[in-house]
């Protein structure tokens, strides 16, 4: 088929894992019922965003791959005949953990995984305490609906990650995400942050000539410590086309989005905007330096 229908499940989360998974599965079913062949969930959708503080007890939430989430969601992918992108806190070995996206094929099998490469450490986002940086590189995952360039949240600020996925043949860029405002920021600052987040990801679509799917969570999650203000996750999940055009975008409430993507559009866009052709790789050696003095 020429078109690919994708579904995005934007949801709020609580401390009740079963309720969160049930909400995710309900959203997946709604998307599949409307024709979605590929469904994407947000980052760490089985629980609260625990990285607002550093607490060793949170490591108990991690799970193995294969494990409970891949079994539950794999069975649903098989039942619905869809490709599913999910996100979990991976326990790889004792004391070794990753923030990992898992792609499940239509038969419920694991098509591949991506371990988050860029790990933030900011107030309210203390991910370096929990996650070891990924070791699988920027490698697309082959599925029955195409080659998926799956990245995770903080990766979305890095054009290098998007470019490497595109150079490896990704048909789409996919970003499960958990990002929000500090409630203490004024409205103008909040809007600047939101627009920067949308703009940088649209630019990846433009620079690489491929669609971008970004799925964020919603809702206020209080900080576990009295000193924190909590996080208001801003939602606004969206799909951008190959020239950065917004195809569909959510608001700040729970929502299931559907978008139709033209599988042939990347070819036509890259013919008129041949950015990949005109790269000057002979002049880019200094990109591997941390900073130019």
State the angle between helix axes of 68-80 and 17-33 in degrees (0 to 180), rounded to the nearest 10. 20
- Which phi and psi (to 5°) does residue 267 adopt? -60, -45
Residues 136 and 113: their CA atoms lie apart, in Å, by: 9
Residue 58 annotated among the catalytic residues of the structure: no
Nearest to 133 by CA among 148, 114, 149, 150: 114
Q: For strands 146-150 and 141-143, give the pairing.
A: antiparallel
Catalytic-labelled residue, pool 116, 127, 242, 255: 116
Residues 188 and 78: their CA atoms lie apart, in Å, by: 45
Catalytic-labelled residue, pool 37, 43, 127, 255: 43
State the angle between helix axes of 187-208 and 159-167 in degrees (0 to 180), rounded to the nearest 10. 20
33: enclosing H helix or E strand: helix 17-33
What is the Rg, in whole angstroms, of the alpha carbon atoms belonging to the chain? 18
Residue 51 annotated among the catalytic residues of the structure: no
Residue 106 annotated among the catalytic residues of the structure: no
Residues 179 and 13: their CA atoms lie apart, in Å, by: 13
Catalytic-labelled residue, pool 51, 58, 153, 242: 153
Catalytic residues: 43, 116, 153
């Amino acid at each position: 088929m020429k078109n690919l229908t994708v579904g995005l499940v934007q949801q709020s989360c609580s401390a009740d894992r079963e309720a969160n998974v049930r909400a995710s599965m309900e959203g997946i079913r709604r998307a599949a019922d409307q024709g979605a062949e590929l469904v994407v969930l947000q980052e760490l959708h089985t629980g609260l965003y625990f990285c607002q503080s550093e607490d060793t007890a949170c490591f108990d939430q991690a799970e193995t791959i294969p494990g409970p989430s891949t079994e539950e969601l794999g069975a649903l992918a098989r039942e619905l005949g869809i490709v599913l992108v999910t996100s979990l806190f991976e326990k790889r070995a004792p004391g070794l953990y990753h923030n990992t996206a898992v792609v499940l094929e239509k038969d419920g099998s694991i098509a591949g995984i991506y371990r988050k490469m860029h790990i933030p450490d900011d107030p309210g986002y203390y991910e370096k305490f929990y996650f070891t940086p990924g070791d699988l590189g920027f490698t697309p995952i082959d599925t029955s609906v195409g080659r998926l360039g799956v990245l995770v949240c903080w990766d979305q600020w890095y054009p290098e990650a998007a470019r490497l996925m595109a150079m490896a043949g990704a048909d789409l860029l996919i970003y499960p995400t958990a990002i929000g405002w500090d409630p203490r920021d004024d409205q103008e600052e909040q809007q600047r942050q939101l627009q920067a987040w949308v703009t940088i990801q649209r630019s990846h679509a433009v620079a690489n000539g491929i669609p971008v799917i970004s799925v964020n969570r919603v809702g206020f999650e209080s900080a576990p410590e009295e000193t924190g203000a909590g996080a208001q996750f801003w939602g606004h999940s969206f799909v951008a086309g190959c020239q950065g055009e917004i195809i569909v975008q959510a608001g700040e409430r729970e929502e299931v989005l559907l978008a139709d993507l033209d599988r042939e559009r990347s070819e036509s866009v890259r013919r008129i905007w041949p950015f990949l052709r005109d790269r000057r790789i002979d002049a880019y050696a200094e990109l591997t330096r941390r900073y130019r003095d």
